[in-house]
Amino acid sequence: MRDVYQDQLTVLADALADMCQQTAVAMEHATHALLHGDLQLAEQVIADDARIDELRVAAEEKAFGLLVLQAPVATDLRVVISAIHGAGDIERMGDLALHVAQAARRRHPQLVLPDEVAPYFTEMGKIAVALAQKAAEVIRSRDVERAATLVADDDAMDDLHRHLFSVLMAPRWAHGVGPAVDITLLGRFYERYADHAVSVASHVVYVVTGRMPASLPV
């Protein structure tokens, strides 16, 4: 019976890691659609978001089922509670990728991004995808040291986000208010995506150590 219970915990962790991988794909595709005006890819991201929502519901049902039927304690209880919080973070990552894809679709056939800010979003997209992939690895491995590396990636995202504002606020900005609003919102989507990925890692640290790390957002 105990082996079955541990298998159920492993299945729950694998489900969350798979969700992370799907949000990584979603953000990779959404970023490509944003940069290249790929309407078909944007539509795919938008359609696939429903699957990520369904996976969150399934993960939460598994977690609540374990709470009710197994009455977990200590580390096992932390696994289940963290899975519930983590599922919410990962689902929001999917929503943020969805918002990026919706922006690409809304402006099609025009590109959303002027040339001078496109490189920022190329790099922000790469960082976001890497963060989601690392979060998936951390969920599976429970590697606390690996979890800490997400903070450096998040700092890089924050730096890009700040630099993006310096471009928007510069006197030479010639694209008007509308594009500036779009870019401000898009930058926020990437920045929040990164924060949620780091939050997922913070819950894994909590599972292993019993403490939420001060350097990672809750």
Per-residue pLDDT of 39-92, as tens digits, reads 999 999 999 999 999 999 999 999 998 888 777 778 888 989 999 999 999 999
Selection from 80, 91, 103, 26 nearest residue 54 by Cα? 91
| Radius of gyration (C-alpha) of the chain in whole angstroms | 19
The token duo for 113 is 């991004």
| 167/211 Cα distance (integer angstroms) | 39
| 153/120 Cα distance (integer angstroms) | 15
pLDDT above 90 covers a percentage of the chain that reads: 79
Selection from 52, 58, 170 nearest residue 44 by Cα? 52
Q: Which domains are delineated in the chain?
A: 2-209 (1.20.58.220)
**For all residues of the chain together, what is the average pLDDT?**
92
76 vs 196, residue with greater confidence: 196
| 10/62 Cα distance (integer angstroms) | 11
DSSP state of 108: T
pLDDT confidence of residue 210: 81
How would residue 2 be classed by pLDDT, with cut points 50, 70 and 90? low
| 36/32 Cα distance (integer angstroms) | 6
Positive or negative torsion for Cα 48, 52, 53, 55: positive
| pLDDT average, residue stretch 144-166 | 94
Distances (CA, A) of 87 to 36, 79, 203: 31, 12, 11
pLDDT confidence of residue 215: 52
Number of neighbouring beta carbons within 10 Å of residue 71: 9
How would residue 164 be classed by pLDDT, with cut points 50, 70 and 90? very high
Q: At what angle do helices 39-70 and 2-36 cross, to 10 degrees?
A: 160
pLDDT at 111 over 80: yes
pLDDT confidence of residue 217: 47
Range with the largest mean pLDDT of 74-88, 142-156, 181-195, 200-214: 181-195
Per-residue pLDDT of 5-45, as tens digits, reads 688 888 999 999 999 999 999 999 999 999 999 999 999 99
pLDDT at 156 over 50: yes
pLDDT confidence of residue 211: 78
CA 38 from centre of chain: 21
pLDDT above 70 covers a percentage of the chain that reads: 94
Q: Provide φ and ψ at 111, rounded to 5°.
A: -80, 145
